[in-house]
Amino acid sequence: MVTAIVGANWGDEGKGKLTDMLGEESDIIVRFQGGSNAGHTIVNDYGKFALHILPSGVFYGHTTNIIGNGVALNIPDIVEELQGLVDRGVPKPRLLVSDRAQIVMPYHKLFDQYEEERLAGKSFGSTKSGIAPFYSDKYAKVGIQVSELFDEDALREKVEGICAQKNVLLKHLYHKPELDVSELMETLADYREKIRPYVCDVSAYLFQAVKEGKNILLEGQLGSLKDPDHGIYPMVTSSSTLAGYGAVGAGIPPYEIKRIVTVVKAYSSAVGAGEFVSEIFGEEADELRRRGGDGGEFGATTGRPRRMGWFDAVASRYGCRIQGATEAALTVLDVLGYLDELPVCVGYEIDGKVTRDFPTTTELKRAKPVYEILPGWKSDICGITEYSKLPENCRRYIEFIEKELEVPIKMVSNGPKRHEIIYR
């Protein structure tokens, strides 16, 4: 069976922990989009890890971990992350990389940086890992596929074309050093040797695995609101964050994705710029940030403080719908135990009218939150494993959210550790 695990919000919903848990029951774990621009935090017996590019199944001996064709493949990052695991006592994981995945080049990172500099204050809050220039090149058909590393003559011709085009921009728009064909060819030769042991025809491999009834987990990065089509464009990421894209970015039949676990955070947080209707500020935000996640809400990749807000039912219901959620997992609920009252954003007021539907970015800019206030439970629920043992007000909060989401909440995460979970 194929399961997808994806985020309903702005990312950082705690997918890492749940992916790690679902990974235990999986034979194969596949990354199908994004690159090393976001991070999953996983706490297990080996310690605490931030994974950026490797699939979350890398801690298990029984799983095959796959980087699908939809991923922005950063080869040095993969090598470094693999080494980082081995150095900390994790057995070397089984890894396959799609021969159709495209490669993040050093110049993608540079273009990201140069463009942010050029835009100065008007930037998109990119993590500067080259993701936007990478996907731009992919769709402009000047990207480099893994398979192309193995045909040196054709590759050189392509690289010459790339340099001719990019050097115009580097020289005249950014006033930066130009690219050199031989240097890039050397880099690519190095990448070829590094990635060679893992290269695989992934869609053929997965087709066979589906036929054999293997459990396959598609691991999403970021969340619905960062999707380039359905999210808060243009403050989005450059590849689709939706479960539906799992079929494309892994190369499996869309109808095989039977279970879509959509992770919803019990409050809101976001990194980078963009519309965020239920955002809170000042001391109120600082306190939630300090108590949030596992040791504070700071970006796993960048260390940037996350923007904080109350639970947004409008955005989360939309986030679940656009994912095609078959179930929801509510996370980091334990963090909210200190609050006397919990505001929940149940509507957006736009031009004097209240809506429950998540609008386009144009309208979102004018939206004001409409809150309903729920009573707090004022206790530590971390580690409770039975739903009925949760304080009444806590259950009320969960059931209120479930009604708003219109999706069953089957798991409630009440702590960063693996066993801190309630199944319903």
Active site residues: 12, 40
Find the DSSP H helices in 96-227.
Answer: 106-119, 131-139, 152-168, 181-195, 202-211
What distance in Å separates the CA atoms of residue 18 and residue 411, rounded to the nearest whole number? 9
Considering the rule CB under 6 A, would residue 237 count as an interface residue with ligand GDP? no
Tell me whether residue 10 or residue 134 sits nearer to ligand GDP (CB atom).
10
Could you say whether residue 130 binds ligand GDP (CB under 6 A)? Answer: no
Pick 4 or 335: Cβ nearer ligand GDP: 335
Applying CB under 6 A, among 4, 5, 7, 312 the residue interacting with ligand GDP is 7
Closer to ligand GDP by Cβ: residue 56 or 64: 56
Of 41, 5, 21, nearest in space to 422 by CA:
21
CB of 285 to ligand GDP, least distance (A): 17
Rounded distance between C-alpha atoms, residue 192 and residue 197, angstroms: 9
- In order of 232, 238, 403, the CA distances from 227 in angstroms are 8, 8, 24
Specify the residue, 166 or 307, whose C-beta has the smaller distance to ligand GDP: 307
Give the pair of three-digit tokens for residue 217: 């987990």
Which residue in the set 15, 138, 226, 307 belongs to the binding site for ligand GDP (CB under 6 A)?
15
Q: Taking CB under 6 A as the criterion, which residues in 317-376 touch ligand GDP?
A: 331-332, 334-335
Helix residue spans in 25-130 (DSSP H): 75-87, 106-119
CA angle, 334 then 18 then 234, to 5°: 90
DSSP 301: T
Measured from the CB atom, the residue of 156 and 259 that comes closer to ligand GDP is: 259
Restricting to residues 279-298, which ones interact with ligand GDP according to CB under 6 A? 293-294
**What is the closest distance, in whole angstroms, from the C-beta atom of residue 91 to ligand GDP in the complex?**
22
Interface of this chain with ligand GDP, residues 16 to 35, rule: CB under 6 A: 16-17
Distance separating alpha carbons of residues 276 and 309, to the nearest angstrom: 8
Distance separating alpha carbons of residues 236 and 215, to the nearest angstrom: 31
- Of 22, 29, 32, 40, the one binding ligand GDP (CB under 6 A) is 40
Least distance (Å) between residue 269 CB and ligand GDP? 9
Identify the residue among 13, 99, 227, 404 touching ligand GDP (CB under 6 A).
13
81 binds ligand GDP (CB under 6 A): no
Q: In the chain, count H helices and then E strands.
A: 12, 21
Q: How far is CA 178 from CA 92, 109, 111, 205, 292, in A?
A: 38, 14, 12, 40, 44
- Interface residue with ligand GDP among 14, 244, 272, 369 (CB under 6 A) is 14
Single out the residue of 34, 39, 272, 369 in contact with ligand GDP (rule: CB under 6 A). Answer: 39
Q: How far is CA 422 from CA 49, 325, 327, 383, 398, in A?
A: 23, 19, 14, 9, 12
Instruction: Please state whether beta strands 409-413 and 327-331 pair in parallel, antiparallel, or not at all (unpaired).
Output: parallel
The smaller minimum CB distance to ligand GDP, of residues 146 and 328, is found at 328
Q: Which is nearer to ligand GDP, 171 or 378 (CB)?
A: 378
**375-414 residues near ligand GDP, rule: CB under 6 A:** 413-414
- CB of residue 295 to ligand GDP, shortest distance in Å: 7
Residue 416 touching ligand GDP (CB under 6 A): yes
Return the DSSP state at 197.
Answer: G
Binding site for ligand GDP (CB under 6 A): 7, 11-17, 38-41, 43, 293-294, 300, 331-332, 334-335, 413-416
